[in-house]
């Protein structure tokens, strides 16, 4: 049997860590609750180390259904970093003080394991199971605060949206299997009929066998429909327009550290699956009615425009950051539109840099929110005088998200724009720049009351050491990766080129 256990070590560490934490909670809830955040950090570090050790030893397992390669390693590090930072933020988050802490952290580790499977899966069945695994755990975490009406409502809405998107995506996978006779992602392109349009809008197509003879007729409408249905499920995972409806409610109602995790890990795992499918189906994707990049460009532009415009009118900081994450999903999609090594590498770089600054932004908002009891913009008035260090940290993260140099967000957007312009997509580059300008106004809606508003309410109490450590790590990476991104760029290129050598 083809089980390469060494290549599964990152997944096994996460699954084993979650199981150990559950057993520890059964033996002593008080002790397990006290050590759970720091044990979770240790599990995350171990999983990241195991993944990095596999960088130069790519391998497959489960009869080719799982692939561990440099592409997976980059995503595994993103997931592990998000897990560790969110665990530290959760340790100082008041609404979770009375919750069942060991179970909470076990669920957090398990959902990280699930998204890790998504990044390494190369089989349609396993991709679907991993997506369902991560989605179900995410529903529970979003609605984890059982006594909170917003949390319960957000969990229910997230479940309903997710169930619908999952069913649609499964139908797309079924169509792909029906046309190819395989669930192996890497075999789809070889088995998918190579069609040439003969006439008509719907395009009757001759199916050419490997021997060069005409075997029958197939309309590209079925290929287009299959890809479109799959895109519904994956668009939901990355919260791209028009599949974004769940994000604002889920981010607002969920425990804020969980919102941070979803905005990073869920989005990154969705992009991992999208990129895997694009790499495997790069040739057959041209069988749809227009260059497939046009559809990706439409989703990217819609996400950027709606994200920044609707985000501007939000009064709840969590919803504002939710629409910000929708806009960033659109910006990252532009790298897929470019359809070059540089563009795909830019997506990986963007996701890494986005993880640092977005977890930092959500973490700071979580700290402020659970102390003041409010996430309304008006309660941020005078924060620069009430707690200058915390306000400065939030300002740095928001300016990074806006793309202000020399912070990480500037290089993330610059790399995407460079790929767009190099490919000749000037219009898309202009739209992205204009969206970034409007986004600056969106983030200024938080910065203005913090530094120019009259202080209201009492001063904030001291940060918990765990939350402070998480914010310091996010701050350092947000600054250092913006000034010195060269190693990250080299890793991203090294991960992309072997998967798509001929473009």
Phi, psi of 379 (to 5 degrees): -85, 0
Looking at the domain assignment, is residue 180 inside a domain? no
| pLDDT given for residue 99 in this prediction | 55
Looking at the domain assignment, is residue 385 inside a domain? yes
Range of the domain at 499: 290-503
Number of domains in the chain: 1
Token pair recorded at residue 141: 């975490």
| pLDDT given for residue 345 in this prediction | 93
Rounded to an integer, what distance in angstroms lies between the CA atom of residue 390 and that of residue 228?
44
Rounded to an integer, what distance in angstroms lies between the CA atom of residue 48 and that of residue 332?
23
Contact 408, 357 (CB under 8 A): yes
Phi, psi of 56 (to 5 degrees): -95, 10
Looking at the domain assignment, is residue 448 inside a domain? yes
Looking at the domain assignment, is residue 330 inside a domain? yes
- pLDDT (tens, 9 = 90+) of the chain, 503 residues, equals 466 777 889 999 999 999 998 888 877 777 667 788 899 999 999 999 999 998 888 788 777 788 888 999 999 999 999 999 999 988 877 666 655 578 889 999 999 999 999 999 999 999 999 999 999 999 999 988 877 788 888 888 899 998 999 999 999 999 888 888 888 888 887 776 544 433 333 444 444 444 444 444 455 677 778 888 998 899 999 999 888 888 898 998 888 889 999 999 999 999 999 999 888 887 666 655 456 778 889 999 999 999 999 999 998 899 999 999 999 999 999 999 988 888 899 999 999 999 999 999 998 998 888 767 778 888 888 888 888 888 899 999 999 999 998 888 899 999 999 999 998 899 999 999 999 999 999 999 999 888 887 776 555 556 778 888 899 999 999 988 888 888 889 999 988 888 876 66
| pLDDT given for residue 198 in this prediction | 34
Phi, psi of 146 (to 5 degrees): -65, -30
* Cα distances (Å, whole numbers) of residue 236 to 14, 231, 274, 317, 336: 25, 8, 12, 22, 17
Phi, psi of 425 (to 5 degrees): -90, 65
Looking at the domain assignment, is residue 374 inside a domain? yes
Looking at the domain assignment, is residue 108 inside a domain? no
Helix, strand or coil, per DSSP, at residue 60: strand
CB-based burial label for 485 (10 Å; 0-12, 13-18, 19+): buried
Token pair recorded at residue 341: 């090594």
Looking at the domain assignment, is residue 175 inside a domain? no
Looking at the domain assignment, is residue 328 inside a domain? yes
Helix, strand or coil, per DSSP, at residue 313: coil
| pLDDT given for residue 175 in this prediction | 87
């Amino acid at each position: 049997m083809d089980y390469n256990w060494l290549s599964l070590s990152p997944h096994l560490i996460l699954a084993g860590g979650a199981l150990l934490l559950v057993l520890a909670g059964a033996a002593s809830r008080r002790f397990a609750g006290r050590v759970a955040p720091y044990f979770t950090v240790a599990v995350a570090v171990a999983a990241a180390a195991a993944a990095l050790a596999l960088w130069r030893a790519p391998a497959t397992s489960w009869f080719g259904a799982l692939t561990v390669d440099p592409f997976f390693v980059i995503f595994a590090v993103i997931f592990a970093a998000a897990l560790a930072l969110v665990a530290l933020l959760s340790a100082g988050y008041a609404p979770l003080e009375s919750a069942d802490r060991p179970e909470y952290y076990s669920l957090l580790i398990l959902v990280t394991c699930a998204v890790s499977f998504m990044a390494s899966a190369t089989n349609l069945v396993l991709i679907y199971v991993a997506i369902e695994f991560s989605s179900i755990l995410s529903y529970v975490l979003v609605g984890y605060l059982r006594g909170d009406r917003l949390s319960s409502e957000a969990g229910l809405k997230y479940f309903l949206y997710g169930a619908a998107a999952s069913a649609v995506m499964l139908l797309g996978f079924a169509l792909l299997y029906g046309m190819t006779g395989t669930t192996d992602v890497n075999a789809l392109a070889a088995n998918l009929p190579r069609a040439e349009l003969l006439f008509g809008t719907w395009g009757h197509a001759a199916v050419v066998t490997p021997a060069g003879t005409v075997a029958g007729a197939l309309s590209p409408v079925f290929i287009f429909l299959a890809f479109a249905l799959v895109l519904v499920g994956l668009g939901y995972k990355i919260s791209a327009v028009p599949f974004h409806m769940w994000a604002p409610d889920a981010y607002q109602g969920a425990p804020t550290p969980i919102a941070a995790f979803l905005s990073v890990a869920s989005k990154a795992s969705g992009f991992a699956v999208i990129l895997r499918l694009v790499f495997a189906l790069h040739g057959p994707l041209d069988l749809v009615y227009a260059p497939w990049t046009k559809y990706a460009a439409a989703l990217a532009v819609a996400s950027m425009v709606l994200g920044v415009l609707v985000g501007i009118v939000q009064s709840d900081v969590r919803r504002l950051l939710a629409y910000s994450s929708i806009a960033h999903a659109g910006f990252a999609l532009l790298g897929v539109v470019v359809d070059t090594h540089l563009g795909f590498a830019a997506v990986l770089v963007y996701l890494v840099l986005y993880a640092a600054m977005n977890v930092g932004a959500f973490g700071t908002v979580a700290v402020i929110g659970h102390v003041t009891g409010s996430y309304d913009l008006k309660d941020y008035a005078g924060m620069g005088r009430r707690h200058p260090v915390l306000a400065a940290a939030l300002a740095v993260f928001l300016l990074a998200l806006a793309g202000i140099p020399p912070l990480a967000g500037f290089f993330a957007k610059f790399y995407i724009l460079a790929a767009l312009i190099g490919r000749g997509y000037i219009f898309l580059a202009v739209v992205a720049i204009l969206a970034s300008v409007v986004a600056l106004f969106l983030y200024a809606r938080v910065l203005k009351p913090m530094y120019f508003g009259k202080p209201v309410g009492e001063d904030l109490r001291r940060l918990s050491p765990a939350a402070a450590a998480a914010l310091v790590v996010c701050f350092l990476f947000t600054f250092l990766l913006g000034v010195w991104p060269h190693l990250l760029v080299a890793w991203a290129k090294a991960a992309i080129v072997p998967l798509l050598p001929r473009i």
